[in-house]
Structure 1
Amino acid sequence: MLLENRGMTVRCFRSAESFLTELQQQPQDPPACVVSDIRMPGMSGLDLLNEVQRTVPTLPVILITGHGDIAMAVMAIKTGAFDFIEKPFDDERLIASIGSAVERGARERIRHSERAELEARVAELSPRQREVMQLVADGLSTKEIALKLDISPRTVENYRAWVMEKMGANNLAALVRKVVLLQERET
């Protein structure tokens, strides 16, 4: 009721298992955020968090509990919980946490989508093109790449042009940003 009064759409589930069943059937259309108690019949909130992280890693999970301690909070955050809130909690704290989680989840989904697109583009590159792309991103000059790969500078320029076209990069800075995004770990 509290969340609906703030204009949020809320769906409740009888159990963590019923939520996971639905999530696994439609992982491409997840909710914006999950709020779960730690102690529930059947699966615990921490186990639910683990399953959500495995199924939809970009989905933020907020855990609430009336029986928490520091060790449990640390474990929840290390496992990937967006927030850990102890009962009784201030309504505004929960609402603010959900708002922040929804925003982060949206950013993560965009980043995940961009990363998937980049991975598909990289799959279209030849092994040599990938090698040149990495060396360019590492900051090597055309001459340095040519020496390292034992090819002519002109060949390096050709590879770089093909890589930039296939990766959809207008300039070297854009290419480097794309390589950095590919190398970042999903958080």
Structure 2
Amino acid sequence: MTDHSVFVIDDDQAMRDSLLMLLRGEGIRARGFASAMQFLEQLPDDKSACVITDLRMPQIEGSELIQRLKALKGEAWPVIVITGHADVPLAVQLMKAGVVDFIEKPFDPNRILEAVRGCLSALARQGVESEAREQTAARLASLTPRERQVFDALIDGKSNKEIALALDISPRTVEIFRAKVMQKMQAQSLSMLVRLGLSVADA
């Protein structure tokens, strides 16, 4: 069973039920909605999830739903589009809007499963990376002001001698602080410390 849910939005009940049965049969947690309006009104609070939506629906069409989800959830809720009214310009437009896959009806069930698994794998990777960044940020917050100065200088590529000069302390004192920084950041090498620093800076 995956940790992430898949939300299926389609006003065609037979299609919706078929997709839900297919996904649940693969151990994927799936929930259906009869319209984009219903989905937005009952918007789940999942931090991240995969969305499968039709395009032609009453009240709110799939393209508008995609725009709203992008604004609300960003990349945390990747969208797969299924439609019986496909054309190249529309497909290109949707892909530019952030849709991860565009599948024409009728479709091969394996094609849907492949797309969903790709979505869920990407979400799992994002989750692991996000957790790692949070742990690194927490370790960074545990550094004293002086340790943080040494950390920042190391990330900038400065040598012990340069750090000592900049902070007006002895090279031996820099070595002591450097060892404390490595221990608190749980970095076994300088290259690992730099990677940790860059991961937080990119977040």
TM-score, normalised with respect to structure 1: 0.75
Report how far residue 37 of structure 1 moved: 1.9
Report how far residue 103 of structure 1 moved: 1.0
% identical aligned pairs: 43
Report what 1:183 is aligned to: 201
| Equivalent residue letter for 2:165 | L
Report what 1:142 is aligned to: 160
| Equivalent residue letter for 1:42 | Q
- Pick from 98, 107, 126 the counterpart of residue 89 of structure 1: 107
Residue correspondences, number: 182
Does residue 12 of structure 1 match 2:29? no
Write the distance in 1 (CA, Å) between the matches of 2:66 and 2:120. Answer: 16
Alpha-carbon distance change, 145 to 89 in structure 1, aligned in 2, over 3 angstroms? farther
- Pick from 59, 68, 87 the counterpart of residue 42 of structure 1: 59
| Equivalent residue letter for 2:58 | P
Q: Which one is further off, 49-58 or 8-17?
A: 49-58
| Equivalent residue letter for 1:132 | V
Does residue 168 of structure 1 match 2:186? yes
Report what 1:152 is aligned to: 170
1:27, 1:56 within 8 Å by CA — same for their partners in 2? no
Deviations 1:66-100 (A, max 9, x none): 33444443443343322222334332221111111
Write the distance in 1 (CA, Å) between the matches of 2:60 and 2:177. Answer: 53
Aligned runs of 1:25-40 on 2, under 5 Å? 26-28=45-47, 30-31=48-49, 33-40=50-57
Larger radius of gyration: 2
Deviations 1:116-154 (A, max 9, x none): 222233233345433432332333322233334444323
Structure 1: gaps of 5 or more residues? none
Alpha-carbon distance change, 55 to 132 in structure 1, aligned in 2, over 3 angstroms? same
1:135, 1:145 within 8 Å by CA — same for their partners in 2? yes
| Equivalent residue letter for 1:40 | M
1:27, 1:55 within 8 Å by CA — same for their partners in 2? no
Alpha-carbon distance change, 156 to 65 in structure 1, aligned in 2, over 3 angstroms? farther
